[in-house]
Amino acid sequence: MAGRLAKNWKLLINPMLVAGITLGLILLEKDLGTPILMGGVFALMLLMAGARFLHLCVPGVILSPGLYYLLFGVGYRRDRMLSFLNPFATEGTTGYQLVQSFLAVGSGGWFGKGLGNSELKLEYLPAAHTDFIFSIMCEEVGLFGGSIILGFFCWLLIQGVSLARIAKTNFRSFTIFGLTCTICLQAFFNMAMAIGLLPTKGIALPFFSYGGSSVIMTLVMIGIILNLAAVDNTQNNVREDITHFKNRKK
């Protein structure tokens, strides 16, 4: 598949149309963060399938004016982008949440104030238990603890990619890779947002943010990954047992 995609870009048309329709329907609900997140996962899956980076640059350039309009053409999104570019200039209004997040992360120091000892979560930082839970964790466990959280998601990504590489079928391989990227990319987006590398958006931190639906879907994705990996492992064990049994008969 990788060779065919690299040589024939027309094979990308159908999956791009399906992804475009899906992301477009989500955009109709006035949610921009989810389409950007899922678009990133879709692009990574195409690269894994063998698409060239240039293949993705062309539609990206074509769609860039529309993305610019979505970011700066709508009032509240424009204010959010301006706050992201200079949060301290709008500290009293739209930049308040991001500035409080900076204070939480910075006040934690190397090893934090201790679990449960956060001060910014006491109604100073909005959404402290959901979108900005990483800021509170950094305040309580410091840069050291925040690095461990980041390292955990990096480890999860490496393990997921490793399982996808050894999967026996394309379906299992792409499913494992796609679900792993969905979890990890969401985590990286959330952590980047908390430290000001990305604009603020309602994206939860998997396994850490409070919220029933987010936790349930994350556990469902982990369950699917483990199940697909177990199927391959079971089949390998069965083959080894059969081979061992035949050798014993000889």
Q: Please tell me the distance from the alpha carbon of residue 221 to that of residue 198, in angstroms, as a whole number.
A: 25
Dihedral over Cα of 43, 49, 54, 55: its sign: negative
pLDDT digits 0-9 by tens, 130-172: 889 999 999 999 999 999 999 999 999 999 999 998 888 888 9
| pLDDT score recorded for residue 136 | 93
Predicted TM-score (pTM) of the model is: 0.84
pLDDT digits 0-9 by tens, 133-144: 999 999 999 999
More confident residue, 138 or 94: 138
Whether the pLDDT of residue 250 is over 60: the answer is no
Distances in Å between the Cα of 83 and the Cα atoms of 37, 129, 243 are 21, 22, 64
Q: How confident is the model at residue 245 (pLDDT cuts 50, 70, 90)?
A: very low
pLDDT digits 0-9 by tens, 37-90: 998 999 898 888 877 887 788 788 888 888 888 888 777 788 888 888 888 888
Q: Please tell me the distance from the alpha carbon of residue 214 to that of residue 38, in angstroms, as a whole number.
A: 15
What ranges do the domains of the chain cover?
Answer: 1-73, 90-249
DSSP count for the chain of H helices, then E strands: 9, 0
pLDDT (average), residues 118-138: 88
